[in-house]
Copies of this chain bind each other. A is one copy, B any other.
Amino acid sequence: MSSATGTRFRVTTFGESHGRAVGAVVDGCPARLALREADIQAQLDRRRPGGTALGSARREEDRVVLLSGVEDGLTLGGPIALMIENRDQRPGDYRDWRNVPRPSHADFTYQAKYGIRAASGGGRASARETVGRVAAGAIAETFLAERHGIEIVAWVAAVGPVEAPDLTQANVTRSLVDERPVRCPDADAAARMTAAVEAARAEGDSLGGIVTAVCRHVPAGWGEPVFGKMEACLAAAMLSIPAAKGFELGSGFQGARMRGSEHNDAFVAKGDTLGTATNRSGGVQGGITNGEPIVFRVAFKPTATISREQRTVDFDGKPVVLKAGGRHDPCVLPRAVPVVEGMAAIVLADAALLAGEPMGRDFGAR
């Protein structure tokens, strides 16, 4: 029952990497929202393997089909089901290694949990599952943009040891992000990242990295106290993405090194409300948004599938030298960008519906 997330904007994904289809059901999307398959397709195309020179060799058209919930281009308020057929399945690629759990993959843990696992690829643990997230995220973004004017932009901030400068204060846009296949808006860093990816690919190796995301124009008052804090929901959403190993909001791990007098965000008057002079809080205080941009970073480990030889053991504990076939990305970071955006949108859409109308900003005396 863990393939669903969200309370009011509820997303369920389905599908194995090499089965008939992957997809999602979005239940709770508000009615009368303008929504076309093309809105969803645009983000799917950004996630698609083979979309860039840097990606996996797997070719999927990834054509989304809306099965329900939309009529004449408007949402009806009921569940929006969507499906993307798997076409370029090559289960045979993995067949020879059936008895060897791939290191740092989910083969062993799924087998331990279920006593069975999908015959090839990663089943539900495959990055292909994120197709449903990106599609559902695109619906969430449509809602957030139309009803609240929110925009979410993510980019690659690090690939292996190559780090881009901090761009969270810059007005980075998606079109800027997409100017380069590596999806880093900084030209110099992008060049070095690309070189690092090519080097890793040449050596049959892989690289991890960091994605930074900014959510702009989120109103104050979203997020729920205690266990439903905005940062808790974002952290869960991000750590649910395959290969994610870390999350930090605002100042994050770096903030842990600072003193309170340096770290505190002083309030300043902004129009008829308050803002903060700095944003080390990352747009959230006490779990609730304060009107400043939400800023966070997600760490991804290097892709577990590499074509270099690996010494490991099979399910019976016998030593083997694994040399995996199959197609894989040397670095998932550029394709992780729309996944991070989609998951952020799903979290924010849920928060928007839970927040409801603000109770009134009675800032003064009680």
Q: Counting CB contacts under 8 A, is A35 at the interface?
A: no
Q: Counting CB contacts under 8 A, is A158 at the interface?
A: yes
B221 close to A232 (CB less than 8 A): no
A1 close to B12 (CB less than 8 A): no
CA distance A19 to B80 in the complex (A): 11
CB-defined interface of A290-328 with B at 8 Å, one 1/0 digit per residue?
A: 110000000111111110101111011110000000000
Q: Counting CB contacts under 8 A, is A23 at the interface?
A: yes
CA distance A123 to B363 in the complex (A): 16
B1 close to A224 (CB less than 8 A): yes
- Interchain nearest-CB distance for A352 vs B (Å): 11
CA distance A25 to B5 in the complex (A): 14
Chain B residues closer than 8 Å to A111, beta-carbon distance: 361-363
A23 close to B81 (CB less than 8 A): yes
B161 close to A315 (CB less than 8 A): no
- Interchain nearest-CB distance for A18 vs B (Å): 9
Question: Count of A residues near B, CB < 8 Å?
Answer: 165
Task: Give the number of copies in the complex.
Answer: 4
CA distance A364 to B207 in the complex (A): 31
Q: Counting CB contacts under 8 A, is A180 at the interface?
A: no
B316 close to A30 (CB less than 8 A): no
Given contacts A220-B109, A261-B308, A267-B101, contact A239 B246 (CB under 8 A): no
Q: Which of A64-86 contact B (CB under 8 A)?
A: 65-69, 71-72, 74, 76-81, 83
- Interchain nearest-CB distance for A224 vs B (Å): 3
CA distance A108 to B83 in the complex (A): 31
Given contacts A103-B267, A221-B113, A287-B106, contact A68 B232 (CB under 8 A): no
B25 close to A12 (CB less than 8 A): yes
Q: Which of A24-44 contact B (CB under 8 A)?
A: 25, 27-28, 30-32
For A262, the closest partner residue in chain B by CB is B302
Q: Counting CB contacts under 8 A, is A97 at the interface?
A: no
B68, B74, B113: the one within 8 Å of A22 (CB): B68
For A357, the closest partner residue in chain B by CB is B357
Chain B residues closer than 8 Å to A261, beta-carbon distance: 205-206, 306, 308, 310
Given contacts A115-B359, A116-B366, 13 further A-B contacts (CB under 8 A): A1-B8, A3-B225, A14-B27, A23-B67, A32-B116, A106-B287, A108-B220, A205-B260, A208-B256, A227-B240, A236-B239, A255-B301, A260-B306
For the complex of A and B, the 4 pairs showing the least CB-CB separation, nearest first, are: A106-B286, A2-B228, A269-B317, A2-B224
